[in-house]
Structure 1
Amino acid sequence: MHPPYDTAADPDRPVTLDRREGPYGEVVLRRRGEGDPGPGSAQPVFEIIANGCFLMDTSDGRSERLLIRAALNALPAGRQAPALLIGGLGVGFSLAEAAAEPRWGRIAVVEREEAVIDWHRTGPLGRISAAALADPRTEVIRADLVAHLHSGAAAAPEPYDALCLDIDNGPDWTVTEDNDGLYSPAGLAACRARLAPGGVLAVWSAQPSSAFEEALRNAGFTGVRTEEISVARGVPDAVHLAIRGA
């Protein structure tokens, strides 16, 4: 049993709401600030920490939403009900953005951490994702993304029109060593194999990576480009985009 979510806190310091040890290490949900998140009220900020590394929080979400919008905009005109795979549930911004867009068809979300799924289904992150999780197009797959992509490529399942991946702070800053495989030639080949011709690969990053752009070109993708979004401090967030040719 895990302790109930903490409802009392000093607003000046982060409060640990849940801490889990799993097969990939420790994941922690923290809250900063308090209050009813109604109109005009101060919004509490929820943070996910993985193996001591800050992963993401609910303070903004613009770049996570851009990940989904940019992929949809990059698809060939006229494609009907495109199928989307989101790699990483995170704090739910990407899924919420996808489910709010009626043009998407099926929406699969691959998340390896049971704790993160719980924080959405029964915990405080549900305020972001509840409507999206209830959408009949949405399927949550509990699996390691890298393994899921490789196993699916071997089985030759129905392809996706877009892969939107956000499981790290970027190709140059992975949460666990296992994730390195996603950005390797074999990992990018598996991504390409899961896409339909003309399909889009979109990868979120905490900073632009010219080396990753080159890796995408070397893996046979075309139309490689990077969209940036300014943040309050530091270098811009980035979404790397690439197209699978015919």
Structure 2
Amino acid sequence: MLPWIQLDSATIPGDGGELRLKQRGQEFSIMLGANELMNSRLSGSEEALATLAQEKLRGRTAPTMLIGGLGMGFTLRAALSVLPSNARVTVAELVPTVIAWARGPMAGVFQGCLDDPRVEIHEGDVAGLIRSVNNRFDAILLDVDNGPDGLTRPSNDRLYDAVGLRASRDALRPGGVLAVWSSGPDPRFTRRLKDAGFTAEVVNMRANGKRGGARHVIWLAVKAE
């Protein structure tokens, strides 16, 4: 078997740790310490984050979507495959080097999706962007941690606490959807979503879709009309 080769590393701004980009043949991995945040061979649940959210938005003209976390582009590519030509997708990525990886060593994984005219890259904190707008997005998709807690950096907790969820609710248009990816279940987060004024649905997904893999969780939280 081919060995893993570390291609690059990047420090997460603020109170985060170090991300490491590794490659083995045509396979890529992004690590944070001993945790593998994502792997280019496992994309099913990240793709479902976009497609399930879009199902909630059917019938909307020119929908606007915010994706928190660029990662390996799986959620973005899936969103672009189901959104109409007049949609707008903002991708908030905190780590500039991750954007460079997308245009450099992982360009084959991204398949040119960053050049889609519907896409805008926001280099900065998704939590700050959410707090700065009101009634702007039809969907907010969060895949910046391994679940509803600040794994990549502790300050990300503010995305998932009561104040953060109310900020996401206010940033959404009526009937908009907040979709959150997680590596596992969290009943307390489901309760927080409901307390923040969302109708919350929990969907269990396989890491690699119908081909199996680890069990992941997606919350689909809809703001009242």
Equivalence map 1:227-238=2 (5 Å)? 227-231=203-207, 234=214, 236-238=215-217
Paired with 1:69 and 1:202, the residues of 2 have a C-alpha distance of: 10
> Based on CA coordinates, which of the two structures has the bigger radius of gyration?
1
* Deviations, residues 107-164 of structure 1 (Å, cap 9, x unaligned): 100000011000012x2221122421111110000001112212x13xx3x6110011
Structure 1: gaps (5+ residues): 1-10, 35-43
Deviation at 1:50, TM superposition (A): 2.5
- The residue aligned with 2:114 is 133
Deviation at 1:18, TM superposition (A): 0.5
- The residue aligned with 2:30 is 48
Deviation at 1:173, TM superposition (A): 6.2
Moved over 3 A (4+): 231-234
Equivalence map 1:165-184=2 (5 Å)? 165-172=142-149, 174-184=151-161
What TM-score do you get using the length of structure 2 for normalisation? Answer: 0.90
Deviation at 1:239, TM superposition (A): 0.8
* Deviations, residues 62-103 of structure 1 (Å, cap 9, x unaligned): 00000000001112x421121110000001101111122242
The reply to whether residue 212 of structure 1 matches residue 176 of structure 2 is: no
Q: Which has the higher contact order (CA 8 A, sep 6+)?
A: 2
Aligned residue for 2:112, secondary structure, equals helix
1:192–1:244: 8 Å Cα contact kept in structure 2?
yes
2:7–2:23: 8 Å Cα contact kept in structure 1?
yes
Q: Percent identity?
A: 37
Deviation at 1:172, TM superposition (A): 4.4
* Deviations, residues 149-198 of structure 1 (Å, cap 9, x unaligned): 12x13xx3x61100111000001462211111110011101111110000
The reply to whether residue 67 of structure 1 matches residue 30 of structure 2 is: no
Aligned residue for 1:73, secondary structure, equals helix
Paired with 1:172 and 1:194, the residues of 2 have a C-alpha distance of: 20
What amino acid is aligned across from residue 43 of structure 2 in structure 1?
Answer: G
Aligned residue for 2:91, secondary structure, equals strand
What amino acid is aligned across from residue 123 of structure 2 in structure 1?
Answer: R
Give the counterpart of 1:97 among 52, 67, 78.
78
Aligned residues: 218
1:100–1:132: 8 Å Cα contact kept in structure 2?
no
- The residue aligned with 1:112 is 94
The 3 A distance-change label for structure 1 pair 174 and 25 is closer
Aligned residue for 2:181, secondary structure, equals strand
- The residue aligned with 1:25 is 17
1:201–1:243: 8 Å Cα contact kept in structure 2?
yes
Paired with 1:129 and 1:230, the residues of 2 have a C-alpha distance of: 21
Aligned residue for 1:191, secondary structure, equals helix
Deviation at 1:47, TM superposition (A): 0.8
RMSD: 1.7
Aligned residue for 2:49, secondary structure, equals helix
The reply to whether residue 14 of structure 1 matches residue 1 of structure 2 is: no
The 3 A distance-change label for structure 1 pair 166 and 132 is same
2:11–2:18: 8 Å Cα contact kept in structure 1?
yes
The 3 A distance-change label for structure 1 pair 233 and 96 is closer
Paired with 2:81 and 2:56, the residues of 1 have a C-alpha distance of: 18
What TM-score do you get using the length of structure 1 for normalisation? Answer: 0.83
Aligned residue for 1:187, secondary structure, equals helix
100-109 vs 90-99, which moves further: 100-109
